[in-house]
Amino acid sequence: MTLDGRPVVQLRGVSKRYSNGTVAVTGLDLDLRAGEFVSLLGPSGCGKSTVLRMIAGLGEVSAGRIEWPKAVHDSHGQPVRDLGFVFQEATLMPWATALQNVMLPLRLNHVTGREAVDRASTALGAVGLGGFLGAYPRELSGGMKMRVSIARALVTEPKILLMDEPFAALDEITRQKLNDDLLTLWAKAGFTVVFVTHSVFESVYLSQRIVVMAARPGRIIADVRTGVPFPRDAAFRTSPDYAACCRAVSGKLVEAIAA
């Protein structure tokens, strides 16, 4: 993946304090470049999901600022966040088919009719579910439901994809297959990915950069570049480069837990 070097999102001194006094994150400085794959790694309670929600505009910043250097701004001077969000759960509408679920963001953007159907069908085909357009969530496996969720996030062709531990509840085989499919989608479309995970192994396999966070309060301990080229495949998982990077990141995670 070739990067253009220009940040699409910049966090400057970002902190989040809840009304009960809990400081979720403090003093975060982070640049996210166009086309980059970045994982946020750290123990529970370190604010990884909070960071994602603030980037998405789903949570207010208590201090500092989030800048969008390349974004279009609306009539009120606010940046238009061109992003998709994949949550920990697939969060599909149970009464709607896979196609109807994926069409939802298009309808919210006033895209209807044949165009919406075609774009949603294409998005489902891209995640390997071209034959399941009419299936309901109850008829799909956990991995298939997550694929629908990813298709729904990508159907508007966002420049940034935020993913909050999307594969944590899946079995290892399904998880590895979805990791591979995600990298394929990323390589083709060139969007920026910010991926939250607890897994050192997943973060190393997927990412160009791994931002390691500590808890209480949440803060950045290390920013590790994997330095391993793409594409990556099953052979990479057993390579010396993979093992060395996993050891290095594991060491930073130990520091984060002890901090």
What are the pLDDT digits (tens) for 71-101?
777 767 677 788 999 999 999 999 999 999 9
At residue 120, the pLDDT reads 97
Are 180 and 233 a contacting pair, CB within 8 Å? Answer: yes
At residue 6, the pLDDT reads 74
Q: What is the mean pLDDT of the chain?
A: 93
Residue 108 corresponds to which amino acid? L
Domain locations along the chain: 7-82+159-258
Q: 34-38, 66-70, 159-163: which has the minimum mean pLDDT?
A: 66-70
Give the CA count within 13 Å in the CB-facing half-sphere of 190: 6
pTM above 0.95, yes or no: no
Q: Which two tokens stand for residue 223?
A: 């920013």
Distance from C-alpha of 53 to C-alpha of 50, rounded to nearest angstrom: 5
Number of helices (H), then strands (E), belonging to the chain: the values are: 7, 9
| Cα angle for residues 95, 49, 38 (degrees, 5° grid) | 105
At residue 5, the pLDDT reads 64
Cis before 240 (ω within 30): no
CATH H-level, domain 7-82+159-258: superfamily: P-loop containing nucleotide triphosphate hydrolases (3.40.50.300)
Residue 241 has pLDDT above 70, yes or no: yes
